[in-house]
Amino acid sequence: MEANAVLMFKYAIRLDVPVEELTDFKLIEFIESWYGIRYRYGGNDRTGIDCSAFSKEFISFLFGFAIPRTSSEQYKQSKRVKKSDLQEGDLVFFYTRGRRNGVSHVGVYLRNNKFVHASTSSGVVINDLDDEYYARNYAGAGRMK
């Protein structure tokens, strides 16, 4: 099997979608190039990256424009989107330090309720918005494009 096909199959499984639905190989290659890179607060490269640097890099690489550096600034500058209206590339925000402290984590929505982010425990990974931790701490979503 060709390397591209293997990669597409791998992400079809991670996103729980038919492989035929995955048509953006550039997106899949980008995620694969970062997948598993460890989390480092304030980090912004492959030696370690935090959530907002990852979302900033993602948006810049795939959509060609700059967004703010921190999750709270990304939240403030994005246009609110209902969970039911999420599209690939939208940002999803979380209260990981309690609601009183505001938004403190961000990921990038992919499809099928899945998002990619730099998690403090696992580095760059894909999770589901309905995973208990993320569902409980969900702050909302925003669109930068």
Condensed to tens digits (0 to 9), the pLDDT of residues 39-87 reads 999 999 999 999 999 999 999 999 999 999 999 999 999 999 999 999 9
Which 3 state secondary structure label does DSSP give 79? strand
CA-based torsion, 61, 64, 67, 71: positive or negative: negative
What's the whole-model pTM score? 0.95
- Asked if the model's pLDDT at residue 91 lies above 60, the reply is yes
Quote the pLDDT of residue 1: 57
Q: pLDDT digits over 119-138, tens only?
A: 999 999 999 999 999 999 99
Amino acid at 131: D
Catalytic residues: 51, 105, 117
**CA 70, CA 140: separation in Å to the nearest integer?**
16
- Asked if the model's pLDDT at residue 95 lies above 60, the reply is yes
Domains and CATH numbers, the chain: 3-143 (3.90.1720.10)
Q: pLDDT digits over 25-35, tens only?
A: 999 999 999 99
